[in-house]
């Protein structure tokens, strides 16, 4: 089978699995956005994903994002940045990105806020990355740290903090992943209760190829799926 057909079939199958998991959590399929992670692939695969109806793409490295965005100008693509962003890459990255999932430190968020103001850009959508697994290798805020940071975060008026992002532990399988996703949701609920001014926190970006159904059952509104989209393509 040709790669385009394989990708189209994979997208269809993943959308069905998303819809089924959403139904199990009492929600419609539209309540969950599929972010197609394209960090492993090139422009042909991106074209195939677009033909299959995908319009939100995730990249984790700024240089790769810059290159792809420059090669696909004018395409109706929403780029989601999902990797660690160094502050010296902020200026070139912000104008290309629809939502940054990986707001992982106050210093980065302050830099983003300052850049949006400097360049007179519209309020910039960000999620706060929370290290719910506690893995040393992962970036992000500690779950217990955010409440004390609210005043500083709420002062970043050029950012629109839309929610939280998290990743499951590398070890432990689906059961541990579910606990990690529950922790992220509880963290969000706690913060919402403390009613931070002007901050809605509607989005929960959680779940990847190996665990997106569990994430949806636990309340994900965005899933970041990469490798499953390209299964069977050489």
Ligand X SMILES: *Cc1c(COP(=O)(O)O)cnc(C)c1O
Shortest distance, position 163 Cβ to ligand X, whole Å: 15
CB 62, min distance to ligand X, A: 13
With beta carbons less than 8 A apart as the criterion, state whether 142 and 127 touch.
Answer: no
Judged by CB under 6 A, which of 39, 50, 87, 92 binds ligand X?
Answer: 39
Encoding tokens for residue 135? 């893995």
Is 208 a residue that touches ligand X (CB under 6 A)? Answer: yes
The answer to whether 209 contacts ligand X (rule: CB under 6 A) is yes
Binding to ligand X, residues 12-31 (CB under 6 A): none
List of residues 6+ apart from 188 with CB closer than 8 A: 163, 164, 201, 204
Q: Which residue is nearest to ligand X (CB)?
A: 226
Which residues within the stretch 52-71 sit at the binding site for ligand X (CB under 6 A)? 60
Q: How far apart are CA 32 and CA 28, in angstroms?
A: 8
Q: Binding string to ligand X for residues 65 to 104, with x set by CB under 6 A, is what?
A: -----------------xx---------------------
In whole angstroms, give the CA distance from residue 83 to residue 173. 22
User: Which SS3 state, helix, strand or coil, does residue 71 take?
Assistant: helix
């Amino acid at each position: 089978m040709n790669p385009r057909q394989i990708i189209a079939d994979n997208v269809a199958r993943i959308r069905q699995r998303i819809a089924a998991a959403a139904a199990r959590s009492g929600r419609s399929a539209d309540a969950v956005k599929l972010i197609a992670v394209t960090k492993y692939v090139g422009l042909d695969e991106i074209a195939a994903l677009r033909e299959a109806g995908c319009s939100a793409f995730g990249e984790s490295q700024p240089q790769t994002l810059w290159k792809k965005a420059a090669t696909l100008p004018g395409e109706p693509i929403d780029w989601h940045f999902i990797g660690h962003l160094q502050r010296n890459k902020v200026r070139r990255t912000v104008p290309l990105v629809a939502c940054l999932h990986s707001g992982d430190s106050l210093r980065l968020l302050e830099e983003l806020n300052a850049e949006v103001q400097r360049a007179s850009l519209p309020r910039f959508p960000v999620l706060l990355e929370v290290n719910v697994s506690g893995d040393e290798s992962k970036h992000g805020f500690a779950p217990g740290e955010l409440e004390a940071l609210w005043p500083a975060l709420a002062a970043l008026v050029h950012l629109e903090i839309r929610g939280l992002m998290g990743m499951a532990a590398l070890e432990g399988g689906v059961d541990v992943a579910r606990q990690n996703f529950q922790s992220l949701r509880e963290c969000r609920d706690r913060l919402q209760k403390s009613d931070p001014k002007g901050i809605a926190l509607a989005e929960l970006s959680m779940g990847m190829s190996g665990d997106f159904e569990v994430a949806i059952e636990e309340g994900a509104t965005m899933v970041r799926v990469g490798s499953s989209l390209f299964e069977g393509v050489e």
